Amino acid sequence: MTLTADASALSYWYTLARACDEGDGAKHIGIGANGLPCLAPSPPPRVDKHANAGAVTPYQQFLTLITGASHGVARLMLERDIDPEEKLAPSLRLSTVKTCLQHAGFWEGHRLPDDWPALPDSLQGARVLPDRESNLPQAFDQIQAAVQKRISEAYARLPAGAGTPAKLAAIMQLLCDASALRERLGKEYVDAIRNLLSLEAAQLRFASALRDSGFPCFAQMRNPLRDGYRLLMDGDDADFCNPALYEDERGYMAAMMTAFTNMLGVVRENRRLDGALFEQYHRWAVEGVKHDNGTDLPRNYRDNAWVTYGADFGDGDLGVNRKLEWFERREKYSPRQLWSELKGAGGHMRVHAFPRSEEQCRAKADQIINAHYERMALLQDTPGHEREALVLASIAECCQTLEQHHLFPDGNIRTIAFLVLNHMLLEENMLPVTPHDPNRLDDRTGAEMVELIRQWQNRFKALQATDAQ
């Protein structure tokens, strides 16, 4: 059977992908003798670029199907997401196939116009933001694909093998060109274009920063340009393979990439975390970030402000135990002056954090973080495996307690789960994490958090080259 660019041929790939579980991320899909997709050896044989130069690879056949199914739009996304080695390899990673099918399904039946996509009347002059709940391309998605098309065309004009500086220069030129569109398209439309171009520039810089970080774990990532954003986005959303999904808070990803890069520099300098550095991490994480209404996210510790957030403890005995630990942490760190209370009934409750001054918040952060380092000092002579479990338990307690006190008006989870947690792991020479659902810091037991951290470390490990794993 010869694969052709029609929906029936692509359906075989959908069926196989749905039937397979990624597991450890090592599964691969190749083309069988009958021309149909099938499971292939993992890892695949090493690529001989010279021997494979003239061969039709699974990537090329699959690309034909994707292009036909999505009128070329998903091809742009596939070119962004593919590992360079996979273009010549005898098989594709299951994760790559699922990413490509996701793009094809999302864009099926949609064609990009040659010019900038027209906005519906309801969005004329309004902020154009991503919709994470939609299963069909919205205005933001159309603009993002149009931006990606222009980026791809700009990169294609560069000399073969052009590096990051040349690509950044191309993006800067596109940013200048976008400014001239304001009169025709309007400020909000052009701001969305410029934000997406700035995100591409941030991804380029972040990939270079990860490769040159001095930490082997990041240097061993298969594709930091494609996967870097996964270090900074909840796993459920990161699995949608789109680093712009959080741009409803415009500037989120660029700020987090800068913050993470700065955090790596701090760890390299062997600087311990404290209340002042915790506040600095938060400032980096929200620098230049806008709420969906266009206002700036607050940058400092909360100053005599109430904060309310949800906590899903679950039902039954496990939910009861989670609440008990929540109260135990509250009593341990604030025995004389309660900082928060639980309201509601059942498993899903609201946490109300009482107003406190900036000075009180900074002092509380110092107290919580210092307690972690005091526990670390007691573990110096503890044997390896036993020490690892105790270190993870201490890190989990520290991060959960910081989150429970909610010392910032906004941006607590992004600061703690992506920056503080990774700071503490890296300074212990442990693997970093790509959190799947960091909000679980709010409502899980310490033992559950230790297990979650290990799972999140395995998620990061899946981003590394097979040899590193």
Q: In sequence order, what DSSP letters do the residues of 208-252 get, joined into one string?
A: HHHHTSS-HHHHTBS-HHHHGGGGGS-HHHHTT--TTTTTTSTTH
Tell me what pLDDT residue 367 has. Answer: 96
CA distance 370 to 273: 8
**What are the boundaries of each domain within the chain?**
7-107, 121-259, 260-461
Residues of the chain scoring pLDDT < 50: 1-5, 24
b vs e for 299-337, b when ≥16 Cβ sit within 10 Å of the residue's Cβ? bebbeeeebebebebbeeeebebbbebbeebbeebbeee
Sign of CA dihedral 44, 46, 48, 49: positive
Tell me what pLDDT residue 252 has. Answer: 96
CA distance 138 to 128: 10
